[in-house]
Structure 1
Amino acid sequence: MTNREKSRWWWEARTIMAASAGNAFEYFDLTLYTFFAVVIGQVMFPAQDPGAQILLSLGVFGVGYCARPIGAVFFGNYADSRGRKAAVNLSLLLMATGTGLIGIAPTYAQVGLLAPIIVLAGRLLQGFSSGGETGALTTLLVESAPSNRRGFYASWALATQGIATMFGSGAAWIASASLTPEQLNAWGWRIPFFLGIMIVPIARYLRRTLEETLDEVTAAQSKQRAPITVMAANYKKTAILALLGAAGGNVTYVIFNLYMPTYAIHELGLPVSVSVGAGLCAAITTAVLAPLGGYLSDIFGRKPPQIIARILIIVLAYPAFMLISAKPSTLVLLATVTGMSFLLAMISGYYAHMAESFPKSVRASGFATMYALSTVLIGGFSQMIITALIQWTGNKTIPASYLVIVGLLSLIGVIFLRPHQPEPGDVLVHADAPGTAVLRPASLPEA
C-alpha cells in the first residue's frame, strides 16, 4: 500500500468513525431499553398484570419516537443552515441527557407516578435528539465521500446501528448473567445506561477532526427560507417516496434487531440467554454486512441490490415466523434472525439513495424528517402493536403480516425514488453527482 493509499484509507476511516459515533450511542440506548423493557415495566409502572406492564413499557418506548419528527425538523434546519457537524454534536449532548434521566429515574415504589413521568421525559428527549442525528449524520457522510463511494460511506449509518445493538445486547447479557434477578431489578439494569454515556466524550473528541461539508452560499440560502417549507413546496413527491422507502428498513430493523429478544421470551418461551443470542446474531450480521450492501450499491446502482433484498424479505417473512413458531429452538431462531438481518444489510444503499434524492440546500431536512416520520409511523409503536395483536389473536405470525404490508409499500418508494437533478439555484462545489456538493481537504484528491 502506497503512502497516498494509506493517507486516503486513514482519512476515510477517521471520517466514518467520527461521524458515526453519535449514531452508535443512540442505538445503544434504544437496544438497552428494549432488552430491559420487562424490568423497566416492573419497577416503573403501576400495574399488577405483567402483560400490561410490558405494554406500558413498550408504549413509552414508542412515545419517544413521537418526538423524532419534531427533532428532525429542528435539527434538519440546523444542519442545513448552521452546519452538519454542529447538528450532530448538539444532538449527541441532548441524547446523553435523556439517557441520564432514564438511568437515574427513581422507581414507582419510591416516588409513585413521578417515576414513569421521568422515564417518559428521558425517552422524549432521546427521541427529539435522535430525530435529527440520522439525517445530519447521513448527509455528512454522503457529502464527505468520494463520488464512487457514497453508498459505502452512508451504509455506516446502518452498520453502526448493528454495532450499537451488538454492544447493547452484550451489556444486557453481562448484567443479566452476573446479577441475581433481585439485583438486576433493584439497580443492575441502570449500569449499562451509565456506561453508554461514556461514548459521548469519545465521540466529541473524534468529531473535532471532521470537515464541515456545508458551504456558506448554501447555508445563506437555507437561512433565508426554512428548508422544511422549501421541501414541502417543491419536493412533496420525493418526500413521500423517501418516507415509503425508509419504512421497510426501519420495520425490519425493529423486528429482528430490537423486538426479537422480547418475542423469543414471551411468545416462544425461550430462555433469556437464547433471546440475547438472537439479538447478538442480528446485530453482528447487520454491523458486518451493511457496508457490503453500500458497496454493492456503488457498483450496481442504488436500486438493484435493494429491490432484490426487499422482495426476499416479503417472500420469506411468513415462512420464517411459521418456522420459529412451530419449532422454537435455539438453532432455528438464530438461523432465521441471521438470514433476515443479512437481507436488511443488503438494503443499506438506501441511505445514500435517499440523501441523493434531495438537493443540498434541504438534504438534511428532507432526510431527517422523512426518516423520522417513517420510524414513528411504522417502527416506533410496532413492538407494542405486534405484542398486543399477538395477545389478542394468539397468532404468533403477526410480525410477518406487518413485515409484508410495510415491505410492499417500501418497495414502491424504492422503485420510483430518483436522484435529484440540478436546478437553477442549486450550489455545487463540484459536479460529480446530481445535486451533491462535497468539500474535502485539498490534500485528499478525489477518487
Structure 2
Amino acid sequence: MMTLHDPEHTATPRRRAFIGVLLCNVLEWYDFVIYGLLTVYISQAFFPRHDDTAALLATLAVFGASFVMRPLGGLVLGGLGDRKGRKPGLVITAGLMGVGTFAIGILPTFEAIGLAAPILLLLARLVQGLSAGGEWGIANAFLLEASPEGRRGFSTSFLSVTVAVGSGLASAVTAILVSTLSPESMKDWGWRLPFLIGGSLGIVALWLRTSMVETPVYRRATTAVTSTAAVLRRVRRPSLTVIGFTMHWTVCYYIFLVYMPLFGQRHAGLSAAQATWSNTLSLVVIILLVPLIGRLSDRFGRRPFLMCSCLLVLVMVIPALWMIVTLRSFPLVVAVQVLCGVAIALYSGPAPAVVAELFSTPDRSRWSSVSYAIAAAVFGGFAPFIAVWLTSTLDNPLAPVGYVVVASTTSLLVVWRMPETAHRSIS
C-alpha cells in the first residue's frame, strides 16, 4: 500500500499514474466496442452481400473470434506484467490495440480484394483481442496495488468506469455519425472514421503510459522459484471462482450494451440513431453509479452488491424484453436500458477489486487476466453471435433471454459461496 516512504507514489505522481492507466483504458475499450456498434456497416464492407443475415453472422463471428485471443493475451502479456512489472505490459497492450484498430480503418473491402478482406479483418481483430486479454488484468492489478488502504474497491471501480466511458464514447461517435451522414456515406466511408480516430489516439496512449512508475506493492513482492504444478494448484480455485463470477458480468455487458442496439433496430423499430443514443444513456448511468458502488463496497463488502445485480437481472430480463418487442416504444427501450445500466453498475463497482483480491501479487496480473479472459471469450465475446443465432434458429426475438438467465444464475451461486474479499490485506 502507499506510504510516506514511497516518494514516487505521493499524491501528484500517483494521480498522474492513475490518469495514465484510466485514459488509456478508455481508448482500449473505445477501439474494441466500436466494432460491435458498426457491425451492420462492417458486414456490408467485408462480406458478400447476397445474404444479409449470413454476412451479419460472419461479422459477429469475427467479433467473437477476437475473444479467443484474450486468454492468450492474458497468459503472455499478463505474465509479462507479473515478471517484468505492470508498466511494460501496459505499454505493449496500448500499442497493439492502436495498430489493430487503425488497420481496420484502412483495410480494403470485399469488392476490392475478395476473400482477403475478411481474412485481414480477422487478423486485425485477433491483434485487438490479444491486447485486450492482457490489458484488463494488468491495469486492474496496477490500480489495486497503487490504491490507498480501505479504498481498493473505489480505485479499481474506475476500471469499470473507463470501460463504460470508452463504450459510451464509441456509442456517441456512432450516434453522431449516423445522425449527420447519409446512409450511403456511412456505408461507403463513414464507418471508417471511428477506427481511424481510435488508431491515432493509440499514439497518445503510448506516450501516457511511458511516464508511469511501478507500484510499491509489486516492487516489494518477492517471487520464489515455484514449479508450474505448484502455481497451478495455487491459482486453481481463485481462477475457477473468477470464471464463474464473470459469467453474469460479461454476458450482461455484451447483451445489454453491444447486442441491444441491434435488437432495438430489428425488433422494436428503432432507427440507428435512436438505438445508439439509448445505449449511450445507459452507459452514462453506469459511469455515474460505478464509483459510488465501488466505494460502498469498501465499507459494506463486495458480495451484497454482486448478488443484488444478479437478482435484478433475473427478475426483470424476461418481462423487459417482452415489452420491448410487444410495445415497440423508444421511451420504453430507454427505460429498460437504464435499468440494465443500474444492474451492470451494481456488479461493475466491486467486481474488479474482487478479481484482483482473489490472487496474490506474483499471480495477480497473469491469472486474473487469463481467468477473466476465458470467461469473456467463452460467455461474453460470442454473446451477440449467440443472441442472433438463437433468434434466427428459434424464430423468437426473446430467445437470448435464456442465455442471460443461465449466466446470471450461475454467477449468483458462485457469489453466494465466494469468500468476502473487501477487508483482506493484499500480498
- Look up the match of 1:334: 334
Q: Contact 1:71–1:131 (CA<8 Å) still a contact in 2? A: yes
- Look up the match of 2:138: 136
3-state SS, counterpart of residue 211 of structure 1: coil
- Look up the match of 2:382: 381
Q: Does 1:366 align with 2:367?
A: yes
Q: Which letter does structure 2 place at the counterpart of 1:406?
A: A
Distance (whole Å) between structure 2 residues aligned to residue 141 and residue 270 of structure 1: 39
Distance (whole Å) between structure 1 residues aligned to residue 164 and residue 30 of structure 2: 9
Q: Does 1:110 align with 2:100?
A: no
RMSD over aligned CA atoms reads 2.1
Distance (whole Å) between structure 2 residues aligned to residue 229 and residue 243 of structure 1: 20
How much does 1:187 deviate?
A: 1.4
Unaligned segments of structure 1, at least 5 residues: 421-431, 438-447
Any residues of structure 2 matched to 1:259-408 within 5 Å, and which? 259-347=259-347, 348-408=349-409
Distance (whole Å) between structure 2 residues aligned to residue 13 and residue 313 of structure 1: 35
Distance (whole Å) between structure 1 residues aligned to residue 328 and residue 23 of structure 2: 36
Distance (whole Å) between structure 1 residues aligned to residue 136 and residue 410 of structure 2: 22
Instruction: Please give the per-residue CA displacement for 1:409-428, whole angstroms capped at 9, x wherever unaligned.
Output: 111222223368xxxxxxxx
Any residues of structure 2 matched to 1:7-18 within 5 Å, and which? 13-18=15-20
- Look up the match of 1:63: 65
Distance 1:293 1:247, change over 3 A: same
TM-score by length of 1: 0.89
- Look up the match of 2:155: 153
How much does 1:145 deviate?
A: 0.5
Match of 2:426 among 436, 441, 446: 436
- Look up the match of 1:45: 47
How much does 1:326 deviate?
A: 1.3
3-state SS, counterpart of residue 396 of structure 1: coil
Q: Contact 1:307–1:415 (CA<8 Å) still a contact in 2? A: yes
Distance (whole Å) between structure 1 residues aligned to residue 32 and residue 229 of structure 2: 30
Distance (whole Å) between structure 2 residues aligned to residue 182 and residue 402 of structure 1: 35
How much does 1:378 deviate?
A: 0.3
Q: Which letter does structure 2 place at the counterpart of 1:41?
A: S
Distance (whole Å) between structure 1 residues aligned to residue 299 and residue 58 of structure 2: 45
Between 1:169-178 and 1:77-86, the stretch displaced more is 169-178
Q: Contact 1:241–1:416 (CA<8 Å) still a contact in 2? A: no
3-state SS, counterpart of residue 197 of structure 1: helix
Q: Contact 1:41–1:56 (CA<8 Å) still a contact in 2? A: yes
Distance 1:128 1:311, change over 3 A: same
3-state SS, counterpart of residue 388 of structure 1: helix
How much does 1:265 deviate?
A: 1.1
Between 1:398-407 and 1:74-83, the stretch displaced more is 398-407
Any residues of structure 2 matched to 1:16-95 within 5 Å, and which? 16-95=18-97
Q: Contact 1:265–1:275 (CA<8 Å) still a contact in 2? A: yes
Distance (whole Å) between structure 1 residues aligned to residue 253 and residue 61 of structure 2: 18
Q: Contact 1:358–1:435 (CA<8 Å) still a contact in 2? A: no
Unaligned segments of structure 2, at least 5 residues: none
Q: Contact 2:100–2:199 (CA<8 Å) still a contact in 1? A: no
Q: Contact 1:68–1:131 (CA<8 Å) still a contact in 2? A: yes
- Look up the match of 2:214: 212
Q: Which letter does structure 2 place at the counterpart of 1:414?
A: V
Q: Does 1:197 align with 2:199?
A: yes
Q: Contact 1:243–1:413 (CA<8 Å) still a contact in 2? A: no
3-state SS, counterpart of residue 346 of structure 1: helix
Distance (whole Å) between structure 2 residues aligned to residue 17 and residue 310 of structure 1: 31
Q: Contact 1:33–1:61 (CA<8 Å) still a contact in 2? A: yes
Q: Contact 2:243–2:371 (CA<8 Å) still a contact in 1? A: yes
Instruction: Please give the per-residue CA displacement for 1:167-226, whole angstroms capped at 9, x wherever unaligned.
Output: 1011112222222222212211111111112332333333344331254564643xx458
Q: Contact 1:69–1:369 (CA<8 Å) still a contact in 2? A: yes
- Look up the match of 1:442: none
Distance 1:273 1:412, change over 3 A: same
Q: Does 1:257 align with 2:257?
A: yes
- Look up the match of 1:180: 182
Distance (whole Å) between structure 2 residues aligned to residue 88 and residue 400 of structure 1: 36
Between 1:180-189 and 1:142-151, the stretch displaced more is 180-189
Distance (whole Å) between structure 1 residues aligned to residue 307 and residue 14 of structure 2: 28
Q: Which letter does structure 1 place at the counterpart of 2:98?
A: A
Distance 1:201 1:101, change over 3 A: closer
Q: Which letter does structure 1 place at the counterpart of 2:262?
A: T
How much does 1:13 deviate?
A: 4.5
Distance (whole Å) between structure 1 residues aligned to residue 58 and residue 259 of structure 2: 15
Q: Which letter does structure 2 place at the counterpart of 1:404?
A: V
How many residue pairs end up in the alignment?
418
Distance 1:229 1:55, change over 3 A: farther
- Look up the match of 2:238: 238
Instruction: Please give the per-residue CA displacement for 1:301-332, whole angstroms capped at 9, x wherever unaligned.
Output: 11111111221111111111112111121100
Between 1:300-309 and 1:19-28, the stretch displaced more is 19-28
TM-score by length of 2: 0.93
Q: Contact 1:82–1:219 (CA<8 Å) still a contact in 2? A: no
Q: Which letter does structure 2 place at the counterpart of 1:326?
A: T
Instruction: Please give the per-residue CA displacement for 1:84-112, whole angstroms capped at 9, x wherever unaligned.
Output: 11111111101111112211110000000
Between 1:181-190 and 1:115-124, the stretch displaced more is 181-190
Distance (whole Å) between structure 1 residues aligned to residue 230 and residue 173 of structure 2: 43
3-state SS, counterpart of residue 158 of structure 1: helix
